[in-house]
Amino acid sequence: MSYIETPLKGCFEITPNLFKDARGSFFEAFNKAHFYAATGLSFEVAQENQSTSVKGTIRALHYQKGAYAQAKLVRVLAGEIIDVVVDLRPGSPTYGIHHRTKLSALNLKQLYIPKGFAHGFSVLTNTATVVYACDAPYQKDQEGGIYFADPSLNIDWGLGERRPLLSEKDQALPLLKDVF
């Protein structure tokens, strides 16, 4: 596997080694020991989530607060997305900075998102199925979010002129300056 740290410290793009033969293909999606050796970070799965969304959907910038913060490992089983993270770690030199990358069922790339980040994605194909493993369970009363079109973040969600499909909750999220 290839582990490349993004400009946001502790956030990694991971590409597995794909093995193909006449039967099909195989790759190792996650190996705890290899992950630690490459990143110096521990990651244990406490909860795994899966979503399927249609083209133009934005699942906005969500996070869990304080002791309920979650690290995530995100990958796409079908389709293609733009995956976006925003550093919300107090005192971080990259606080309020975002990173975006394309994840797809074809490129097999994954994104490791450390605790203290907001996360969201937009769907580029007719549908996309996304799996994200989390190191802590979801706590509804500890959730937070940031409005997807916050001008201070200036995120290109890759949708061009297409009007995004958003949940009611995501439409009402605050701007970053109003969160902390």
For residues 165 and 38, give the distance between their C-alpha atoms in angstroms, rounded to a whole number.
37
For residues 102 and 165, give the distance between their C-alpha atoms in angstroms, rounded to a whole number.
19
For residues 83 and 122, give the distance between their C-alpha atoms in angstroms, rounded to a whole number.
7
> Closest by alpha carbon to 116, among 49, 63, 80?
63
3-state secondary structure of 108: coil
In the beta sheet, which residues pair with residue 173?
Answer: none
- Whether 98 is catalytic: no
For residue 99, what is the enclosing H or E element? Answer: strand 98-104
- Whether 62 is catalytic: yes
Q: Of these residues, 63, 98, 99, 132, which one is catalytic? A: 132
Q: How many Cβ atoms sit within 10 Å of the Cβ of residue 169?
A: 11
Q: Of these residues, 3, 62, 68, 95, which one is catalytic? A: 62
Which residues are part of the catalytic machinery? 62, 132
